[in-house]
């Protein structure tokens, strides 16, 4: 048990609370050289209100969820109070946004309040997003509207339970203040958790300034923090680069296998830890169309579903470029090393993608033929079938359901045109004999019934904004926390939108 002492952000006075369990802070990024960040307190808000605390995550991190729900706890997640041991900073980075270079970005509406070590000894950043202006706000107000905060909470937690590496949502609070966008919107703050918030753009910032010393310090920090094995080999920076590339290849393969569209894959939105970050205009696809793009600002379709693997490759080559001064003393050798690292990506991605798609079809990787996946996707595109439900229906078809209500047949059927493909698929299944129900269980575990469908997310956000009714938000989050088991009473949450419910565009939180 620790004494939970809070510091008021506007007075730096210590607030003595009754004894509470609290994780210990250890702020390694704030110990890096001063040019990596600016010390910055969150800007207090007038009337913080609790939206939700993530109890499971709080427990994992060593926070007392009950405390976070008290008045003082809400002051904390709204940025009006700092926990003892916090050392709030706004970090600096750069990045390629939609392909264009921006030498100066940074936490413009977020504050890293510190790092905590969880019950398993893992380090996590605790960040407040929407916490007011910083030196990197570039004319922005540093605030976040309620809608994007709810979207990020819903989608990031849905991704986490699907097993996708991702930043997490520990809590969300309203600010009691309005933010000006096209409309006046209620403001909110998200408490975001990630293994770190170090981006490709963080390294790019120092590379572009030719500050090789800082670049080396940051690379070393990333190695210690995310790739400790790389410190043991002859070329640690190259090993780190290989590690980031491997994690990203697997991450993007996971996105593809779930029909997830990130929407704003700028180099400042790709973490070196390999976690998904920045749930701005993101969305899951309903009917399968590889050209799908949701982001309102992505006019050219740069970040469309089918482009994501290539964009990741491009972003990683920007990372390799930034690391060149550290890869070898001799520029030619450095270039060769960086090139070799990024040339490994296409095969790494393909292997990860193939493995995940075969898993979804219940096929072993050795026997499954790649063409079967391609042909299925073509059929899905032609017939405009729902991405998620098509795969889940295949799960139904491999074995009779023991629990009858776990079969999605009542809400979704495959068109007859799938019959020839299904015959080919069944033949493939015979090549890797397996107990039917074991195969079904394995397929169920990678073919969710419930995803964060855009129209459901929009419905939850609208109810919160228009009617101040957060019930649809809570209900959606709760349902998405159990994505792999169909329940008839939640059939509405499994089904694609009706034509009038389709949401075609999503908007960034800016
Ligand atoms: P994003 O598109 O969310 O990745 O943000 C790109 C950059 O814009 C980041 O440096 C953000 O910190 C900054 N930014 C986005 N929204 C705001 C805002 N409302 N106020 C200040 N900075 C912002
Ligand atoms: Mg961003």
Please indicate whether residue 268 is annotated as part of the active site: yes
Model pLDDT for residues 280-306, shown as the tens digit of each residue: 999 999 999 999 998 888 988 999 999
**Range name among 46-55, 189-198, 359-368 with the lowest pLDDT average:** 359-368
Quick one: average pLDDT of 12-20?
A: 39
Model pLDDT for residues 474-505, shown as the tens digit of each residue: 999 999 999 999 999 999 999 999 888 888 88
Model confidence at 7: pLDDT above 70: no
Quick one: average pLDDT of 127-150?
A: 97
pLDDT at position 307 is 97
Length of the chain: 510
User: Which residue ranges have their beta carbon within 6 Å of ligand 1?
Assistant: 105-109, 136-137, 140-143, 264, 268-269, 278, 280, 508-510
Domain that holds residue 267: 201-285+299-353
Are residues 82 and 229 both part of a single domain?
no
Are residues 348 and 336 both part of a single domain?
yes
Model pLDDT for residues 158-174, shown as the tens digit of each residue: 999 999 999 999 999 99
Are residues 113 and 218 both part of a single domain?
no
Q: What's the domain count of the chain? A: 3
Quick one: what percent of the chain has pLDDT higher than 70? 94
Helix H, strand E, coil C: the string for 105-140 is EECCCEEEEEEEECCCCCEEEEEEECCCCCCCCCCC
C-alpha 510 – ligand 1 centre gap (Å): 6
pLDDT at position 13 is 38
CB 387 within 8 A of CB 306: no
Are residues 325 and 447 both part of a single domain?
no
Residues around ion ligand 2, judged by CB within 5 A, are 269, 278
Are residues 339 and 385 both part of a single domain?
no
Model confidence at 309: pLDDT above 90: yes
Are residues 188 and 217 both part of a single domain?
no
Last residue in a domain, options 164, 197, 230: 197
Tell me which residue has tokens 């329940």.
Answer: 487
pLDDT at position 368 is 66
pLDDT at position 248 is 98
Q: Which ligand is nearest to the CA of 509?
A: 1
The answer to whether residue 358 sits within a structural domain is no
In terms of Cβ atoms closer than 10 Å to its own Cβ (0-12, 13-18, 19+), residue 34 is exposed
Model pLDDT for residues 59-69, shown as the tens digit of each residue: 999 999 999 99
Mean pLDDT score of the chain:
93
pLDDT at position 404 is 67
The answer to whether residue 121 sits within a structural domain is yes
CA 188 to chain centroid? 19
- The tokens describing 128, both together, are 């407040």
The answer to whether residue 290 sits within a structural domain is no
């Amino acid at each position: 048990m620790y004494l939970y002492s809070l510091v008021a952000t506007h007075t730096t006075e210590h607030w003595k609370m009754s004894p509470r369990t609290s994780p210990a802070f250890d702020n390694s990024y704030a110990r890096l050289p001063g040019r990596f960040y600016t010390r910055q307190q969150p800007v207090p808000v007038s009337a913080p209100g609790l939206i939700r605390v993530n109890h499971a995550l709080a427990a994992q991190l060593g926070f007392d969820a009950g405390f976070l729900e008290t008045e003082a706890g809400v002051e904390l997640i709204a940025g009006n109070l700092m926990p003892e041991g916090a050392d709030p900073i706004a970090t600096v980075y750069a990045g390629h946004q939609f392909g264009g270079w921006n030498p100066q970005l940074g936490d413009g509406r977020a504050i890293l309040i510190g790092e905590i070590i969880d019950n398993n000894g893992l380090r996590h950043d605790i960040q407040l997003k929407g916490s007011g202006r910083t030196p990197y706000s570039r004319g922005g107000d540093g605030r976040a509207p309620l809608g994007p905060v709810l979207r990020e909470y819903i989608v990031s937690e849905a991704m986490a339970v699907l097993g996708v590496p991702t930043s997490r949502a520990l809590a969300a609070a309203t600010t009691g203040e309005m933010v000006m966008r096209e409309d006046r919107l209620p403001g909110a703050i998200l408490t975001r958790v990630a293994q770190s918030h170090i981006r490709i753009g963080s390294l790019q910032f120092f590379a572009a300034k030719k500050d090789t010393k800082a670049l080396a310090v940051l690379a070393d920090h990333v190695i210690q923090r995310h790739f400790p094995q790389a410190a043991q080999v002859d070329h640690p920076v190259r090993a780190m680069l290989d590690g980031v590339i491997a994690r990203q290849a697997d991450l993007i393969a996971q996105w593809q296998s779930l029909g997830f569209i990130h929407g704003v894959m700028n180099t400042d939105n790709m973490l070196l830890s390999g976690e998904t970050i920045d749930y701005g205009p993101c969305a899951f696809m309903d009917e399968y169309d590889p050209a799908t793009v949701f982001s309102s600002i992505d006019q050219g379709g740069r970040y469309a579903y089918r482009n994501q693997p290539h964009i990741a490759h491009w972003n990683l080559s920007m990372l390799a470029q930034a690391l060149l001064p550290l890869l070898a003393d001799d520029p030619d050798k450095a270039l060769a090393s960086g090139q070799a690292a990024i040339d490994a990506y296409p095969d790494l991605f393909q292997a990860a993608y193939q493995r995940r798609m075969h898993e979804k079809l219940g096929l072993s990787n050795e026997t499954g033929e790649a063409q079967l996946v391609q042909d299925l996707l073509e059929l899905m595109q032609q017939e405009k079938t729902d991405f998620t439900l098509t795969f889940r229906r295949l799960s139904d078809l491999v074995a009779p359901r023991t629990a009858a209500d776990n079969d999605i047949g009542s809400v979704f059927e495959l068109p007859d045109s799938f019959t020839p493909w299904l015959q080919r698929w069944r033949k493939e299944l015979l090549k890797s004999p397996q107990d039917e129900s074991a195969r079904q269980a394995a397929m169920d575990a990678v073919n969710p019934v419930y995803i964060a469908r855009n129209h459901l997310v929009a419905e939850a956000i609208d109810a919160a904004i228009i009617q101040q009714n957060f019930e649809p938000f809570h209900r959606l989050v709760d349902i998405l926390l159990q994505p792999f088991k169909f329940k008839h009473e939640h059939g509405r949450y499994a089904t694609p939108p009706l034509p009038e419910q389709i949401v075609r565009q999503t908007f960034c939180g800016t």
